[in-house]
Amino acid sequence: MTPREAGYNLNGVLKSGPVGEDDRLLGVGGCLGGCVSVPTSKSMAQRALLAACVARGSTRLTGLPEGADVLAALGIPRLLGVLQQVPGSDQAAVRGMPPGIGAGPDHSWMVGESGTLARCATALGALGWNPGTSMEIQAAGSLLTRNSPALMGTLDSIGVERQELGVPGGWPLRVRSVEPPEEVLLENPSSSQEVSALILALAAWPEPRKLMVRGSIPSRPYVELTRSVLETFGVRVREESLSGRMRCFYIQGPLVAPEQPLAIEPDASAAAVALVGACLSGGEARIDGLGLGSVQGDVRIVQHLEAFGCQAGETQVDGRPALWASGSPRRGATLDLSGEPDLAPVLVPLAAAAAKAGFASCFTGLGTLDGKESPRLTGLAQGLRDCGFEVRAGEAELVVAAGHEPCPAPVLDAHGDHRMVFAFCLLGWVIPGLRVAGKSHVAKSWPNFLTDFEAAGVNWTHYSGPR
């Protein structure tokens, strides 16, 4: 199923109205095993595509994933007229337009439902473009209800003209570019994406810049991912801890297109879905081309699986790293997910399996989950309760008590959230007969999720749903 078939247009924006595939509910069975095909990293691809737009020279990228979030990112260089891509190919070339090259026309950029793309495109449009250029950032779906107050506050403080066209501090909006000052301050970020967005925009300029960040940075590994991508463009980012909960990022641009093609590695978040699926279904799965040395924070799924008593690790296949996992959960776990909160939907089904075996589990560091495509923490807690588990949820934690009260298998609605589809499908191996509504939303990050899992031994059952 392609993103367009799943209800997305060529810019990666979710179309209005119901999607026909959602009229059928999904159940899971079979045993997942072998080498599982997963998409490449959308987080890495989005950052690389935006960096290429303002880099000096032409950037070649390979291994671009097909998900709607990356289609939206590809829409930006396409609208700028700097994208070369063979239809149906995972390769592209982007001819950069760094600050100072031409006057630059006004543009309207469509970011779909991606928070990462929205924040990075907003900062880039405001600070990484020629001064005086007007950019309109359009959004869709749940992004229309989300905001980014810390990022908007930073832009306001340095004189960026900003017109709100939707919710306060959110999208859609219009910004007029300014040349950034030598020092920029971000206070109390609510997302690592705000830090990444400003680092990316400041890196477009040849003169050194400083980003001062006051307060803790959620989901910190994603900042390291941004730094890693920018390093391939020749940008140096040095970090220093200062007093008073202040950190300084010293950024030395400009962005320069790498000489060799930039290859996007397998997505660690998708790999986590497959590895957990193997453990819950009684199989053994392997993800080739991804190792524990990856800068993607979600490779910590290996440690988390081991915490539940599963077997997991890294091996070598044809000289390349690969992650693998097998074995059912044998105990509960207490995990701090502050660095990788998006793994919570994948790990909760493991906690459910452990609870059925008489073990409790606790997840902390989940304070950002309810601000995602859906209120994930709330949705996970309610989904477990509907399945007969005793759950306690706070603002940033989820506790799954030992034990399980048998009940009729429910229908769980993913509420338009791709990660909740993955979570509830995995939970189907713990609660036989469970059905999931909203399967088409996997197009956001993994359009071939159903067929890739089928190829690895999974049996999907399609039920008639409400019409």
Of 130, 131, 152, the C-alpha closest to 53 is 130
One-letter identity of residue 362: C
Q: Which tokens in the block code for residue 192? A: 């690592």
Distances (CA, A) of 103 to 55, 98, 120: 16, 11, 21
Residue 277's alpha-carbon distances to 38, 333, 420, 450, in angstroms, are 13, 18, 14, 13
342 included as an active-site residue: yes
Token code pair at residue 419: 């990660």
Nearest to 90, CA basis, from 42, 35, 57: 42
d(CA 285, CA 271): 10
**Residue 288 vs residues 7, 278, 319, 419: alpha-carbon distances, Å:** 30, 15, 10, 22
Q: Could you say which DSSP state residue 265 is in?
A: P
Ordered DSSP codes for 96-138: ---TTSS----EEEE-TT-HHHHHHHHHHHHHSS-TT-EEEEE
- Helix, strand or coil, per DSSP, at residue 387: coil
- Of the chain, the end-to-end C-alpha distance in Å amounts to 21
Tell which residue, 380, 348, 342, 350, has the closest CA to residue 281: 350
Residue whose token pair is 């730094």: 227
Catalytic position from the list 69, 267, 288, 342: 342
Q: Which residue carries 């070649």 as its tokens?
A: 60
- Is the separation of the CB atoms in 74 and 230 below 8 Å? no
**Inter-residue contact 82 to 96 (CB < 8 Å):** yes
Q: How many CA atoms lie within 13 A of 155 on its CB side?
A: 33
**How many Å apart are CA 120 and CA 178, to the nearest integer?**
16
Kindly report the number of other CB atoms within 10 A of residue 132's CB atom. Answer: 13
Q: Is the link from the previous residue into 254 a cis peptide, with omega within 30 of 0?
A: yes
Q: From the CB of residue 396, how many other CB atoms can be counted at a distance below 10 Å? A: 17
Active site residues: 342
